[in-house]
Amino acid sequence: MDFETAMRISASGLRAHRAWINVLSANLANINTTRTPEGTPYRRRTLIYESVPQDESFEAALREAMEGELERVEVSAVVPDGRDFKTVYDPNHPDADADGMVRMPNINPVEEMANMLNAARSYEANLAALNTAKTLALRALELGR
């Protein structure tokens, strides 16, 4: 694997994990949002990742077929979570129904924070791989002196 390919693969991981962190942040920010423009509580969102070929050219496709396929990661969709909303008893809440029950977002803050730590560590791992590739390329250039 050459320097440019290593940089592209690490960069795709950085983009994917940055998107994941953004979605997790939005989930945490809306943990108490009981009414969206659709009239329902905020629905937790999650990402769908997809692996795609590293290069689109014919030459690259041929080389990858001969040497082994390299792929990068992309976010293919941001989808709503299908879990049911939580209900809490709060008769003074403006969104309470006739029985005093309020539908709350389907967000578990502990789960979101655990996912945030995982996303941050994955982002750091991709950044470390990117820095390692850069260091190796600089050392290879120093050999030519």
Give the pLDDT confidence of 8-19 residue by residue, as tens digits.
888 889 999 999
DSSP annotation string for 73-142? EEEEEEEE--SPPEEEE-TTSTT--TTSEEEE-S--HHHHHHHHHHHHHHHHHHHHHHHHHHHHHHHHHH
CB half-sphere exposure, 129, CA atoms < 13 A: 18
In this predicted structure, what is the pLDDT of residue 99? 93
In this predicted structure, what is the pLDDT of residue 63? 63
Residue 37 has pLDDT above 90, yes or no: yes
Mean pLDDT for all residues in the chain: 88
Give the pLDDT confidence of 118-145 residue by residue, as tens digits.
999 999 999 999 999 889 888 888 887 7
Q: What is the token pair recorded at 95?
A: 């969104």
Residue 92's contacts (CB-CB under 8 Å, 6 or more residues apart) are: none
In this predicted structure, what is the pLDDT of residue 72? 80
**Do residues 78 and 45 lie in contact, with contact meaning Cβ atoms separated by under 8 Å?**
yes
In this predicted structure, what is the pLDDT of residue 17? 94
Residue carrying structure tokens 């795709």? 12
Give me the mean pLDDT over the 101-130 stretch.
95
Closest CA to 93 of 34, 144, 25, 36: 34
In this predicted structure, what is the pLDDT of residue 6? 82
Give the pLDDT confidence of 44-86 residue by residue, as tens digits.
999 999 887 766 666 665 666 556 666 788 899 999 998 999 9
Phi, psi (degrees; rounded to nearest 5) at 119: -65, -40
